[in-house]
Amino acid sequence: MSDRELVELYVKLNPIAAAVGAPPPIVERAVKRLQAEDERRARAKQVAQAVGHPEWNNVCRECGCELKGFTSELCSDCGLRWLAR
Ligand SMILES: [Zn+2]
């Protein structure tokens, strides 16, 4: 079960508790991971906009090529070069 599925299931099964109380630790950790993921995605999108490609999700910070995912800051080529340094 993904973090998102876990949180959605909790909210569905416990709508009142989800609205007013602190969720159990396992749900709280999943919510924090999802928030961190959203922040990374938003940051990556900002970088893409800053280099003139608002249609991209992310940009390699070394060579400026398009990255499909948002978790990395380097493309595979630049990542390998960085590891070899
Ligand atoms: Zn690169």
* % of the chain surpassing 90 pLDDT: 79
Q: How far apart are CA 11 and CA 34, in angstroms?
A: 15
Who surrounds ion ligand 1 at CB < 5 A? 60, 62-63, 75, 78
The pTM (predicted TM-score) of the whole model is 0.72
Residue 67, strand partner residues: 58
- Ligand 1 centre to CA of 1 (Å) is 33
Statement: residue 54 has pLDDT above 90: yes
In this predicted structure, what is the pLDDT of residue 5?
96
Q: What is the CA radius of gyration of the chain?
A: 18
If phi over 0 gives left and psi between -120 and 50 gives alpha, with beta otherwise, what is residue 15?
alpha
Q: What is the mean pLDDT of residues 22-37?
A: 94
Q: Average model confidence (pLDDT) for the chain?
A: 92
- Ligand 1 centre to CA of 65 (Å) is 6
- Ligand 1 centre to CA of 16 (Å) is 47
Structure tokens at 66: 């398009």
- Listed residue (62, 57, 85) closest to 76, CA to CA: 62
